[in-house]
């Protein structure tokens, strides 16, 4: 198998270590690719290439804005031409149903187009000031931050790549990038497309390797000006500590344990289907999964009955065959999730459906879990901790105030959803939720235009939208004295 390489300073290069890593398909356990496996030395080479490109060569940063936008549009067009191959790659690498990968690729393509459109968009403010030193004209300009390091997780391989690279590049930065070791193949294709689209050498550099070697080299570097990361809260905390060495700017999109509040006055059939999307999409391996369900006690049994019936009818299988749900990412994760279900049982949770490894037919070769619903009490481990798999919990409530208190009883604050036909109630609950993304009578959708990110231990900063571009920019104020001559401040000097 051809070894996929790093892309540093416009060249495809193997790691100085000579090491390689096998990439597995979680549906079959089979090897589907081999990548070079880099060290801190490789990471440093990439950082120096980005530093030279930003501070010395300056080609991307100083490029005519229309040409820069054209390159981003060309990247989108080239991705579109390879969309089927990209979607297939993400399904093989991550396991998700093919139609979900196709949706991811489409969103990723539009993310580049969206940020191409923001190149040269209005930015900053102007102020007319007269405060002690006479009249001044003050205005803001936005500038790229410099060398940006980016690290992504495995659950949305190409989409997370686009969410990070499109705004960082649109803003004129130079980037060093590390995808997850578990699903790096579509990111390699993304960099092939960068080369084809004419991105100048050193502008975007790919380093394939582990978080503990390459990721740590990024966060500890004195030459990286900003680091953005999507992944677990524990790793986010490590990055934050190391980033202190040179006071890097940080952007963190971390874990979640998001609530789904279902009131008796909602359209229950619609709520059941949305709930399934909310906690079973992408095998439940979604940071914003609303897997912590709270259901008004008067409809709890009915909701559970309908939900269990639909969950039990779901097809499970190899993502290429477009089942309702695919395998979880690794054997280790499968065992972690099954262990979490065992913990739940030992704490008194009742398994309403699922709760076991699914091994029918060819699924015996992969890492499949039967979609699982647990009847829980607040405070049990599966209600508190992120599961990141096809497992939801149900807890009952009686009043709106109780629902809000239960929903907010978490250290996380990424997302939350509420189902009710009462508009005022929906508004009250979403207003009270301490979370960055909230939904009414739906869950899961996100848009390139709208800011994405969490409160509390779910992160710092926002991705996507105009905010997402601003995260990759410095703001400078320029103050111009309008009065002629000196202000005459010193009496004796
Ligand atoms: P993870 O273990 O935190 O890994 C994420 C990335 O960080 C991987 O590329 C990993 O490299 C790297 N990494 C590991 N240790 C590192 C370190 N010390 N310094 C720098 N980088 C390091 O998370 P995951 O298991 O891939 O993804 C699941 C988590 O991501 C969940 O908690 C989920 O909620 C969160 N997530 C959040 C969002 C969001 O938008 N908020 C979106 C998706 C996922 P390796 O290649 O070595 O693993
Ligand atoms: Mg894989």
Instruction: Using the mean position of ligand 1's atoms as its centre, give its distance from the Cα of residue 460 in Å.
Output: 15
Does 69 share its domain with 85?
yes
pLDDT score for 493: 83
- Reported as half-sphere exposure (CB side, CA atoms, 13 A), residue 84 has a value of 1
Inter-residue contact 423 to 311 (CB < 8 Å)? no
Inter-residue contact 271 to 282 (CB < 8 Å)? no
Does 284 share its domain with 234?
no
Q: State the pLDDT confidence band at 316, using cuts at 50, 70 and 90.
A: very high
68-120 tens-digit pLDDT: 999 999 999 999 999 999 999 999 999 999 999 999 999 999 999 999 999 98
pLDDT score for 445: 84
Determine the Cα–Cα distance for residues 150 and 159; give it in Å rounded to an integer: 13
Ligand 1: lining residues by beta carbon, under 6 Å: 151-155, 178, 180-181, 210-212, 215-216, 219, 230-232, 235, 238-239, 253-256, 287, 386, 388, 414, 454, 459
Ligand 1: nearest atom to the Cα of 414: 41
Q: State the pLDDT confidence band at 171, using cuts at 50, 70 and 90.
A: very high
Tell me whether residue 448 is in a domain: no
If you search the block for the tokens 């539009």, which residue do you land on?
110
Does 267 share its domain with 190?
no
Q: How many domains does the chain have?
A: 2
Does 292 share its domain with 423?
yes
For 328-393, give the DSSP string. -S-HHHHHHHHHHHHHHHHTT-EEEE--SB--TGGGGGS--B--EEEE--TTSHHHHS---SSEEE
Determine the Cα–Cα distance for residues 92 and 319; give it in Å rounded to an integer: 7
Ligand 1: nearest atom to the Cα of 154: 26
Inter-residue contact 256 to 454 (CB < 8 Å)? yes
Nearest CA to 424 out of 440, 402, 443 is that of 440
Between strands 249-253 and 226-230, the pairing is parallel
**Token pair of 262, please?**
């279902």
Inter-residue contact 134 to 127 (CB < 8 Å)? no
Determine the Cα–Cα distance for residues 403 and 463; give it in Å rounded to an integer: 29
Does 234 share its domain with 359?
no
Instruction: Using the mean position of ligand 2's atoms as its centre, give its distance from the Cα of residue 309 in Å.
Output: 31
Q: Ligand 1 atom 26: the closest Cα is on which residue?
A: 153
Ligand 1: nearest atom to the Cα of 234: 3
Does 199 share its domain with 240?
yes
Tell me whether residue 445 is in a domain: no
pLDDT score for 123: 86
341-357 tens-digit pLDDT: 999 999 999 999 999 99
Determine the Cα–Cα distance for residues 168 and 162; give it in Å rounded to an integer: 10
**Token pair of 352, please?**
């309403």
Tell me whether residue 450 is in a domain: no
Tell me whether residue 415 is in a domain: yes
**Token pair of 333, please?**
């994760």
237-278 tens-digit pLDDT: 999 999 999 999 999 999 999 999 999 999 999 999 999 999
For the whole model, what pTM was predicted? Answer: 0.97
Summary mean pLDDT of the chain: 97
Q: Ligand 1 atom 14: the closest Cα is on which residue?
A: 211
Tell me whether residue 486 is in a domain: no
Cite the active site residues.
Answer: 253, 287
Ligand 1: nearest atom to the Cα of 452: 40
Nearest CA to 111 out of 475, 469, 435 is that of 469
Average pLDDT (463-468) is 96
Does 20 share its domain with 43?
yes
Determine the Cα–Cα distance for residues 222 and 354; give it in Å rounded to an integer: 49
Tell me whether residue 396 is in a domain: yes
Does 52 share its domain with 194?
yes
Tell me whether residue 291 is in a domain: yes
Q: 193 pLDDT exceeds 90?
A: yes
Does 314 share its domain with 435?
yes
Q: Which ligand ends up closest to the CA of 185? A: 2
Instruction: Using the mean position of ligand 2's atoms as its centre, give its distance from the Cα of residue 334 in Å.
Output: 14
Q: Hey, is 20 helix, strand or coil?
A: strand
CATH label of the domain that carries residue 406: 3.40.309.10
Between strands 459-460 and 3-4, the pairing is unpaired
Average pLDDT (166-172) is 98
Q: Ligand 1 atom 28: the closest Cα is on which residue?
A: 231
- Max CA pair span of the chain: 92
Q: Which ligand ends up closest to the CA of 291? A: 1
**Token pair of 442, please?**
């739906």
| Residue span of the structural domain in which 82 resides | 3-254+458-478
3-57 tens-digit pLDDT: 999 999 999 999 999 999 999 999 999 999 999 999 999 999 999 999 999 999 9
CATH label of the domain that carries residue 74: 3.40.605.10
pLDDT score for 132: 87
pLDDT score for 122: 86
Does 242 share its domain with 324?
no
Does 383 share its domain with 413?
yes
Tell me whether residue 187 is in a domain: yes
What Rg do the C-alpha atoms of the chain give, in angstroms? 24
Instruction: Using the mean position of ligand 1's atoms as its centre, give its distance from the Cα of residue 137 in Å.
Output: 45
Does 176 share its domain with 308?
no
450-459 tens-digit pLDDT: 999 999 999 9
Nearest CA to 82 out of 67, 101, 59, 64 is that of 101
Instruction: Using the mean position of ligand 1's atoms as its centre, give its distance from the Cα of residue 266 in Å.
Output: 36
φ, ψ of residue 168 in degrees (nearest 5): -65, -40
């Amino acid at each position: 198998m051809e070894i996929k390489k790093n892309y540093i300073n416009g060249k495809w290069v193997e790691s100085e270590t000579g090491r390689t890593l096998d990439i597995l398909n979680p549906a079959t356990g089979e090897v589907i690719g081999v990548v070079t496996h880099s060290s801190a030395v490789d990471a440093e080479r990439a950082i120096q290439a980005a530093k030279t490109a930003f501070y010395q060569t300056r080609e991307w940063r100083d490029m005519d804005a229309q040409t820069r936008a054209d390159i981003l549009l060309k990247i989108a067009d080239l991705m579109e031409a390879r969309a089927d191959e990209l979607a297939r790659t993400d399904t093989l690498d991550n396991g998700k149903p093919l139609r979900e990968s196709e949706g991811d690729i489409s969103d990723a393509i539009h993310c580049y187009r969206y940020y191409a459109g923001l190149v040269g968009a209005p930015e900053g403010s102007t102020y007319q000031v007269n405060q002690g030193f006479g009249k001044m004209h003050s205005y803001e300009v936005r500038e790229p931050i410099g060398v940006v390091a980016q690290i992504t997780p495995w659950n949305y391989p190409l989409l997370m790549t686009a969410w990070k690279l499109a705004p960082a590049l649109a803003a004129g930065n130079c980037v060093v990038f590390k995808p997850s070791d578990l699903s790096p193949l579509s990111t390699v294709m993304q960099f092939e497309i960068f080369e084809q689209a004419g991105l100048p050498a050193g502008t975007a550099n790919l380093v394939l390797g582990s978080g503990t070697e390459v990721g740590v080299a990024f966060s500890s570097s004195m030459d990286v000006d900003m680091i953005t990361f999507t992944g677990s809260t524990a790793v986010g905390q490590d990055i934050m500590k190391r980033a202190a060495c040179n006071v890097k700017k940080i952007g963190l999109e971390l874990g979640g344990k998001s609530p789904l509040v279902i009131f008796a006055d909602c359209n229950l059939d619609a709520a059941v289907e949305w709930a399934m999307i909310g906690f079973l999409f992408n095998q439940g391996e979604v940071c914003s999964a609303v897997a912590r369900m709270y259901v008004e006690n008067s409809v709890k049994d009915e909701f559970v009955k309908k939900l269990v019936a639909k969950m039990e009818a779901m097809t499970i299988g190899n993502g290429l065959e477009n089942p309702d749900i695919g395998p979880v990412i690794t054997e280790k994760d499968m065992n972690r999730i099954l262990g979490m279900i065992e913990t739940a049982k030992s704490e008194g949770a009742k398994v309403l459906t699922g709760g076991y490894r699914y091994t029918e037919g060819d699924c015996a070769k992969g890492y499949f879990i039967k979609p699982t619903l647990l009847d829980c009490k607040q405070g049990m481990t599966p209600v508190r901790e992120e599961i990141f798999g096809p497992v939801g919990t149900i807890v009952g409530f009686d009043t709106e105030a109780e629902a809000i208190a239960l929903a907010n009883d978490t250290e996380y604050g990424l997302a939350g959803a509420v189902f009710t036909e009462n508009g005022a109630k929906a508004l009250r609950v979403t207003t009270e939720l301490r979370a960055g993304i909230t939904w009414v009578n739906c869950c899961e959708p996100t848009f390139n235009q709208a800011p994405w990110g969490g409160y509390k231990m779910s992160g710092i900063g926002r991705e996507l939208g105009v905010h997402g571009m601003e995260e990759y920019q410095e703001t400078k104020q320029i103050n111009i004295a309008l009065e002629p001559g000196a202000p005459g401040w010193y009496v004796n000097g």
